[in-house]
Amino acid sequence: MRDVGYGKTEVAMRAAFKAVMESKQAAILTPTTVLAYQHFETFRTRFAAFPVKIELLSRFRAAKDQKEVVKRIEEGDVDIVIGTHRLLSKDIKFKELGLVVVDEEQRFGVAHKGAFKAVKETCGCTYAFGHADSSYPEYVAYGIEDMSVIETPPRDRLAIQTQVVQFSEQVIKSAIELELTRSGQVFFIHNRVETIDTIAALVNRLVPQARIAVGHGQMNEQEMERIMLEFVDFKHDILVATTIIENGIDIPRANTIIINRADQYGLSQLYQLRGRVGRSNRRAYAYLLIPSEQGLTPIARRRLAAIREFSDLGAGFRIAALDLELRGAGNMLVVSSPAYGCPWVRSLYSDA
């Protein structure tokens, strides 16, 4: 496990390259098509100077193209394949699989993890990269998962300046205009679909010169993917969205995030959302908007104080440990299941 924005993709690329150089195939599993596409472009750019055959397997490819890729994977004509759950389909057969990388592992369900275990039996090793949420200290404490933490940040990475401020149109306007003056992009997080268009209209009134897009989980999936890719391609300045963007998106140009009603979020979730910015050598800013100090619950005060305090690089595990303390670990259910080859352990507290 590495911290938010600490280069999990870099580690994955190096591991995949080593596997390919040893005449093995590598599979990169992601939970979303947008993330798969981002990784595909990143891998292609990085390995452009090497004879490495890289393919994408997701809805972005036509059915005919997918069939061709599946055939080439089985024949060993693909070195690295990057895709979504499609990679777990029964028609996918590798000639000599040597490495599986599971990105955003916590986004996959129990059934998928069971499939990963079956895949693992056919290759040398499996790397699972997840985020620093409260389940990791819990899993490590119970001996369910091994974990290694690399605490050295990427070169030139700067800590994110975090401010907890009362909701104010002037604060929003100033924060956005500051980012736009340096040709950057802004995330505005509002986690209520019913009123997200109202918030987008407010933002449009405050900064009419900005190109604004809206995204949330109740949209058509293809439409949401289109908006996200347009934001990646800098066709929008501001993305007003729900927490749908909290995992996996890497947009170095986006270095300001405004989170409305930050008091209603969990600590790990705030940390993950904040991690969507600060992924370049530019100073990044996070504005956590609250209704008023007086209206906060004691637990909300502790969360906000913690996210503000732990703003230094590499604070993810400390955040996760504190989140575990605040939320509680719940009960552990151990079920011996032949299908998994070992005791299957599940937290009754989570939905994982």
Specify whether 103 is located in the same domain as 212: no
Domain that holds residue 278: 161-311
CATH number at residue 232: 3.40.50.300
Rounded to two decimals, the pTM is: 0.74
- Residue 343 maps to a domain: no
Tokens found for residue 110: 């129990």
Q: Which secondary structure element, helix H or strand E, spans residue 299, and what is its range?
A: helix 298-309
Specify whether 36 is located in the same domain as 125: yes
pLDDT of amino acid 67: 94
- Residue 326 maps to a domain: no
Specify whether 177 is located in the same domain as 132: no
Distance in Å from the first CA to the final CA of the chain: 18
Listed as ranges, residues in the chain with pLDDT below 50 are: 1-2, 132-135, 137-138, 141-144, 339-341, 343-352
Q: How many CB atoms lie within 10 A of CB 51?
A: 7
Residues 345 and 337: beta-carbon distance below 8 Å: no
- Residue 100 maps to a domain: yes
pLDDT of amino acid 4: 55
Specify whether 281 is located in the same domain as 223: yes
Q: Strand 185-189 relative to strand 254-259: parallel, antiparallel, unpaired?
A: parallel
pLDDT of amino acid 246: 74
Specify whether 197 is located in the same domain as 304: yes
- Whose CA is closest to 179, among 210, 148, 214? 210
Q: Strand 285-290 relative to strand 332-337: parallel, antiparallel, unpaired?
A: unpaired
pLDDT of amino acid 267: 84
Q: Please state the domain count of the chain.
A: 2
Specify whether 125 is located in the same domain as 255: no
Q: Which residues of 111-120 are buried (b: 16+ CB within 10 A; e: fewer)?
A: ebebbbeebb
Tokens found for residue 129: 């990269």
The number of C-alpha atoms within 13 Å of 288 and in the hemisphere containing its C-beta is 27
Specify whether 166 is located in the same domain as 36: no
Residues 96 and 123: beta-carbon distance below 8 Å: no
- Residue 114 maps to a domain: yes
Q: Strand 97-103 relative to strand 80-83: parallel, antiparallel, unpaired?
A: unpaired
Specify whether 34 is located in the same domain as 165: no
Q: What is the pLDDT of residues 316-345, one digit of tens each?
A: 555 665 655 566 555 555 555 554 445 444
